Chains A and B, each alone.
Chain A
């Protein structure tokens, strides 16, 4: 892992998104002020005016690169930063705007903007499509407890990858019953944990916002789901956070690896 100096400089920017991950950070309240004492804080668009820096030890980027300006800003941020973190599902995968990748985007833009002229309407891609990403803090929104721990680990130079295990691993700990057993589509078996099963414990299905585990067994999940729901419903579930493409690619990679063995 990258070595960080004592009081690293840090900047947080957002591209196109709801900014909920920045709010999740703010929600740490007093703790956030304590965490930032270990950092030299540069820009943090939500709460301050003009504090841009020429160099960052750590850049945190939330949101989707949709406009030309978004892409430019993302690349600039990468250029002046040593370590870049993708924050939240938008930057990591695509999130709800990523549904667009599974429908006709030209038709969709005309629905909202009948008088369209020069409005950017690209495919929704992770920020890693444009720049190298060194670390991902996943989730929609992020788990701010996890964020706090990661920032404290960084300052102590002991940052470790987020464990590769599925949400199913956390459901029993959260005393959440299995939704698949109740014939509700749930992507928990193929989704990376770390959220303390926050959705399933409230009776809400997992829709995979934290992205796939390293070796998702998508075929077997599909088989279970198709016993009670249609293929269309299963695909729609994978599309809510725009993860279908990434999930299928990861599953394919995993099965090829298995085949080689």
Chain B
């Protein structure tokens, strides 16, 4: 028996699914990416370094900020540029804005319908008019955070190696701080809807992988950590552990940790950083089953928790900056040859950029490993378990789509 889903809607980009079952046993379960090859890494080779953050932002329209910042961080590491603590804080807040807007879009508009038999994202408005408007407001706010700091929410403009071309004003920071309490209460209203979700009974133990640091639940900087491997690994070593495989007929690569598949994204971060969540985010943990959850469907609830955490975190980070007008947008630096890795937590998981520069600032080598490339094989393993003993039909197809959407894959990122 063959199960084919030509196009899975309500995910970023174009993807489908094909599985082969024999007597209830799953012979194969594969996600198919239908994006064309854009060859971004290859196109960057031979270009001047400062084009990389602009070009790589265009890998993905839903998470351009993380590509842009990850690229900048990798280039700064290659050039030995040390940015100011103020720059780091502003970038962290941009990351939080990205997480809020991406999660609000996915966890609400794309994935929630699966649990209430609503086929079209726009129809959520009819069923949950109040919550839908609040979800829109939350997403708007995430965009505004990015826009006020980065100059534009999609493909930011002010960010560059060394800092910013222009800084957010004191007045804008204060406006943001005034808005946050209401947005936090809006998330509280969404929690009421998510509480009612009956997540499917599903169990497959997996490994969780994310960035971690001592101070906080991190999105911007830290070492990598894996749940079954307590030793922290510096990001600069990622290419030793994570390997990319390219199959001859596939435009999307797959990444493995020493040959194993693993989970990246909100649920992974939650597993590894739970104790560092901010208080309001912690208070809604009670609706989760005991850890480890080992049920990927809960990823969308983890995304909701992260929205709440990110709002509290933005408040915490921006407060000290609100006291006076910001100065010194960027540091100066000199060009030199070098290699550099950058890693950030994208909404969908850990993102890596690697560049090698010559002494004139031109890119000699480049590698980008996106979260979706890392999660696809884990998703396929989940799908194999989900499909055991299933019959072909609409119900099975819907379950497959639901699980795929729980992972929040981004096909445009997968096929950069």
Could you tell me which A residues sit within 8 Å of B by CB distance?
Answer: 14-24, 26-27, 29-30, 33, 36, 41, 45-51, 64, 66-67, 69-70, 95-97, 99-100, 103, 105, 107-109, 111-121, 140-141, 198-199, 202-204, 207, 233, 236, 240
Q: A65: nearest residue on chain B (CB-CB)?
A: B36
Q: Are A240 and B51 in contact (CB under 8 A)?
A: yes
Q: Would you give the 0/1 interface string for B33-47, flagging 1 where the beta carbon is closer than 8 Å to chain A?
A: 011111111110111
**Bound-state Cα–Cα, A18 to B413, Å:** 8
A-B contact pairs, 26 of them (CB 8 A): A16-B35, A16-B38, A16-B415, A18-B58, A20-B155, A22-B61, A23-B61, A29-B139, A48-B9, A49-B9, A50-B9, A66-B37, A70-B36, A109-B42, A112-B39, A114-B246, A115-B246, A115-B248, A119-B37, A120-B36, A120-B37, A121-B37, A199-B157, A202-B165, A233-B48, A236-B51
Docked-complex contact A49 and B120, CB < 8 angstroms: yes
Mask, B244-282, CB within 8 Å of A = 1, is 001111010000000000000000000000000000000
A20 touches B246 (CB 8 A): no
- The answer to whether B209 has its CB under 8 Å from any CB of chain A is no
Instruction: Give 16 new A-B contacts, CB below 8 A, not counting A27-B154, A141-B155.
Output: A15-B36, A17-B61, A18-B61, A19-B12, A19-B13, A23-B62, A29-B140, A46-B12, A64-B38, A99-B55, A109-B39, A112-B39, A113-B37, A117-B249, A120-B36, A198-B157
Contact across chains for A204 and B105 when beta carbons are under 8 A apart: no
- Residue of B10, B54, B120, B412 near A18 (CB, 8 A) is B412
Q: How far is the CA of A105 from the CA of B409 in the complex (A)?
A: 28
Which residues of A sit under 8 angstroms from B137, Cβ to Cβ?
29
| B116, CB-defined interface residue at 8 Å | no
Q: State in angstroms the CA–CA spacing of A38 and B143 once bound together.
A: 26
A100 near B39 with CB under 8 A, answer yes
Chain A residues with CB under 8 A of B55: 96, 99, 240
Residues of chain A within 8 A of B155, CB atoms compared? 20, 140-141
The answer to whether B35 touches A47 (Cβ under 8 A) is no
Query: A18-B60, A100-B43 are contacts. A204–B157 as well, Cβ < 8 Å?
Result: yes
Chain B 140-154, CB within 8 Å of chain A: the 1/0 string? 100100000001111
Pick the most buried of B43, B51, B165, B246: most chain A CB atoms within 10 A of its CB: B43
Chain A residues contacting B140 (CB-CB under 8 Å) are 27, 29
Which positions in B face A, CB cutoff 8 Å?
A: 7, 9-10, 12-14, 34-43, 45-48, 51, 54-55, 58-62, 64, 105, 109-110, 119-122, 125, 133, 136-137, 139-140, 143, 151-155, 157-158, 165-166, 246-249, 251, 401, 412, 415
- The answer to whether B143 and A27 touch across the interface, beta carbons within 8 angstroms, is yes
- Please report the C-alpha to C-alpha distance between residue A141 and residue B139 in the assembled complex, in whole angstroms: 18
Are A19 and B40 in contact, CB atoms less than 8 angstroms apart? no
Contacts of B37 in A (CB 8 A): 66, 109, 112-113, 119-121
Q: In the complex, what residues of A have CB within 8 A of residue B248's CB? A: 115-118
Q: Which residue of A lies closest to B46 (CB)?
A: A103
A64 to B46, CA, bound (A): 23
